[in-house]
Structure 1
Amino acid sequence: MASFKIEGGHKLNGTITPQGAKNEVLQILCAVLLTPEKVTVHNVPDIIDVNKLIFILGELGVKVEKLSSNSYAFQADEVNLGYLESPEFKRDGSSLRGSIMLVGPMLARFGKGYIPKPGGDKIGRRRLDTHFEGFTNLGAFFRYNKEESFYGVEAEELFGTDMLLDEASVTGTANILMAAVLATGTTTIYNAACEPYIQQLCKMLNSMGANITGVGSNLLTIIGVDTLGGCEHTVLPDMIEIGSWIGVAVMTRSALTIKNVSWENLGQIPNVFAKLGIEFEKIGDDIFIPEQESYEIQNYIDGSVLTVSDAPWPGFTPDLLSIVLVIATQAKGTVLIHQKMFESRLFFVDKLIDMGAKVILCDPHRATVIGQNFESTLKATTMTSPDIRAGISLLIAALSAKGTSIIHNIEQIDRGYENIEARLKSIGAKIERI
């Protein structure tokens, strides 16, 4: 098991280009199963979760050609359906939560889709009901092997219908969408997720010949088509990584330029960082964060303490709350972090408290952070990364801390961040993989 050794307290400087968006590319890669024609995807991040999914596609019989470091061609013209019920698939699929999105396209094109209970971050309950209720609404038969935790849906034909999702699930919307594009008739999905990554999936599917309207809203209308063709698609930059690099700059009091961030797809992210008192400039499609010795959290206009909470898009993404929490430890002022979606995502704060942060964990969903305005910097320590976002947050804390920190279980960070130590070294960080 690898670890990071980080010597904190150094100022950084330079330019970073964000990787392709993990949460988009997992959807896009599953969509290549909807056509026997070639699909080319650019800006694919070289991270563990994405590479696992590419491996699974290869085992399914998809022809995978690596065109360059971040571009691939896929062709699903000879899919091996037997792999879906093999012990190997039960092993491979269970290690990756994104594998759930294989079910929709497999069901749509081949009439059956199976998945073992998927893995991923241990951040609380992440139910699959929305996915399978959507499939059964389209006419699929659902079955579940409790002993093996193995899910399946089968249908000779899918039929369009009107459905109201019980939650605006991003992966659920993507999965149902991919099933509906080849269904007979018209499907409407109300309370659909409308994140930029879902919009990107819709644009890709439409370029393949699908008929999807309402893109960008929470009401999608899909008129089913008989077949889909190939296409070329470029993945957006990862907004979570962009927020992470802002956190790196702020906590190390460094000047940093983040290139090609796709400003129009950042939503509330700039607004939330501005409320924390962070200065930044929009230069073309780049973000420049100047050296900032201090930043003050804004209270509400009535003087009450600011709350930063997550919500479905266009609300603030839950994946950045861990970063906001770390940044707040050295702000001037107090903020309440309210993590509504996942009940285990704030448990990493005990590591920050060990480092000297003033954080009160109110309950599994809320933490009050009393900022220290860099008057009492964090202290180096040894810690373990529990999930991707907590892992990068602890790494940011270590970069700002006095002394040398060790972070174990960094495979969690590698799942979501491409070549993170080399990119940090390129801007002056003292970090090594041990």
Structure 2
Amino acid sequence: MSIFKIEGGHQLRGEITPQGAKNEALQVICAVLLTAEKVTISNIPDIQDVNKLIFILGELGVKVTRIDKNTYEFQADEIDLDYLKSAKFKKDGSSLRGSIMIVGPLLTRFGQGYIPRPGGDKIGRRRLDTHFEGFIKLGAKFRYNPEEYFYGVEAEELKGTYMLLDEASVTGTANILMAAVMAKGETTIYNAACEPYIQQLSKMLISMGADIQGIGSNKLIVNGVKYLGGCEHRILPDMIEIGSWIGMAVMTKSALTIKNVSWENLGLIPNVFRKLGIALEKHDDDIFIPSQKEYVIQNFMDDSILTISDAPWPGFTPDLLSIVLVVATQAKGSVLVHQKMFESRLFFVDKLIDMGAKIILCDPHRATVIGLNHDSELRGSVMSSPDIRAGIALVIAALSAQGTSTIHNIDQIDRGYERIDERLRALGAKIERINDSF
């Protein structure tokens, strides 16, 4: 187990290129199971969660060739379905929540899909009902072994149908969409998630021969095809990492350029940071953040306190609320952060309070942040990362703090951020990865 040791108070400088989008990668990599032909995917982030998924596909029989650091070729022409019922798969699959998305492709192509209850972030319940209810509506039979927490779906043939999803689940939509592309007839998925990740997956599937209409909306219409072929696909830059770099620049009063951000796929992200008083400049497809000594939170038009909350796309992504919260600690003014979509994502604020932040945790979903306007800097502290996004928020807090901070459980951060310590050091940060042997 490793730790980060961070000496705060140093400005960053230079340019940074964001990694490929983690959430998109977990979907499109699973889509290679839909064809026996070769699929090449580029801009794959070199992070733990994605590498675990690629390992699982390799164990399943997918031929995996790494062309360069972020480009892979996959060919799923000799799948070992027996692996799905093995003790090894139960162990491998349970360590990664993203493994749930192999079920849809396996079900539609091979008539069966299995998964142990997947792990991931400890941010409250993240149920799988949407996935399996969609498979059942397509004609699959569902079974569950409560003793081993093992799920399975089987079908001789999937048939298109109309379905209204009970929630606009991103992974649920992706899984059902991949199952529907080779189902017989037409499938309508209403209340579908419409995040850029889903749009990218849809475009990839179309390049493989799928018939999908309504991309970018919450109503997808899929006409099943009998066969899908190979393709080449490039993953978008990670919007969550882009937001994280914005937070790092602002909290350290640094001037930073974030390269090739795909502005058209950022949605509300730039506007939400601007509401916090942060200057963002669009330079072609780059974001430039100038050095700011202070940033003032905007109130609503009636002068009431600003509220920032998450919502399904095109609303503000929940993955950036942790970043917004830590950035607000050094703003001028106050903001209410309302985390609606997960139960436990705000429970890391006690660590920020220990560092000197002025935060009132109203309940598991709401926190009021009283900005210190850099009049009272955060203090270095010893902390532990509870999940990916809270972990990077603690890194941002430590980079801006007086003194030295130690962050344990950084495997959580490595799950979503590629070589974050190396890339920060290249920008001037004082961050060290230390192997903790105790």
TM range (shorter): over 0.9
User: Would you identify which runs of 4 or more consecutive aligned residues in structure 1 move more than 4 Å?
Assistant: none
Q: Could you report, residue by residue, the CA deviation over 1:379-426 in whole angstroms, capped at 9, with x for unpaired residues?
A: 000000000000000000000000000000000000000000010001
Could you give the per-residue CA deviations for residues 166-193 of structure 1, whole angstroms, max 9, x where no partner exists?
A: 0000000000000000000000000000
Q: How does 1:182-331 map to 2 (within 5 A)?
A: 182-331=182-331
Find the aligned partners of 1:111 and 1:261 in 2 and give their Cα distance: 39
Give 5+ residue unaligned stretches, structure 2.
none
Q: Which residue of 2 aligns with 1:421?
A: 421
Cα distance between partner residues in 2 of 1:11 and 1:211: 50
In the aligned structure 2, how far is the partner of 1:286 from the partner of 1:420? 20
Q: Could you state the TM-score of these two structures normalised by the residue count of structure 2?
A: 0.99
Distance, in Å, in 2 between the alignment partners of 1:338 and 1:425 is: 33
Distance in 2 of aligned mates of 1:306 and 1:127: 31
Partner SS state of residue 6, structure 2:
strand
Partner in structure 2 of residue 93 of structure 1: 93
The structural deviation recorded for 1:12 is 1.0
Q: Note the alpha carbon deviations across 1:6-48, whole angstroms, 9 max, x for none.
A: 0000111010000000000000000000000000000000000
Secondary structure at 1:244's aligned position in 2?
helix
Q: For 1:11 and 1:141, locate their aligned partners in 2 and report how far apart those are by CA, in whole Å.
A: 57
Secondary structure of 1:126's match?
coil
Q: How many residues align?
A: 434
Which residue number corresponds to residue 340 of structure 2? Answer: 340
Q: Which residue of 2 aligns with 1:144?
A: 144
Q: Distance in 2 between matches of 1:405 and 1:277?
A: 27
Q: How far 1:248 moved relative to its partner?
A: 0.2
Counterpart CA distance in 1 for 2:366 and 2:343 is 9
1:288-308 Cα deviation digits (max 9, x unpaired): 000000000000000000000
In structure 2, C-alpha distance between the alignment counterparts of 1:220 and 1:253, rounded to whole Å: 44
- Secondary structure in 2 matching 1:31: helix
Q: CA deviation at 1:144?
A: 0.1
One-letter amino acid of the structure 1 residue matched with residue 149 of structure 2: S
| Paired AA for residue 285 in structure 1 | D
CA distance in 1, matches of 2:129, 2:417: 29
SS in 2 for 1:132: helix
Structure 2 counterpart of 1:12: 12
SS in 2 for 1:23: helix
Q: How far apart, in 2, do the equivalents of 1:298 and 1:172 lie? A: 36
Q: Distance in 2 between the 1:355 and 1:302 partners? A: 33
The equivalent of 2:45 in structure 1 is: 45
Q: Which amino acid aligns with 1:48?
A: Q
Shift in Å at residue 280 of structure 1? 1.3
Task: Name the residue aligned to 1:432.
Answer: 432
Residue of structure 1 equivalent to 2:154? 154
1:134-184: CA deviations, max 9, x gaps? Answer: 000000000000000000000000000000000000000000000000000
Instruction: Deviation per CA, 1:234-285: give whole Å up to 9, x if none.
Output: 0000000000000000000000000000000000000100000000110000
Q: With the length of structure 1 as denominator, give the TM-score of the two structures.
A: 1.00
Instruction: Name the SS of the counterpart of 2:383 in structure 1.
Output: strand
Amino acid at match of 2:220: L
What is the root-mean-square deviation in Å for CA atoms of aligned residues? 0.3
The CA deviation string for residues 75-121 of structure 1, in whole angstroms up to 9 with x for no partner, is 00000000000000000000000000000000000000000000000
Mapped to 2, the partners of 1:169 and 1:260 lie a distance apart of 28
For 1:350, the aligned partner's letter is D
Q: What aligned pairs does 1:97-116 form with structure 2 within 5 A after superposition? A: 97-116=97-116
Number of the residue aligned with 2:392: 392
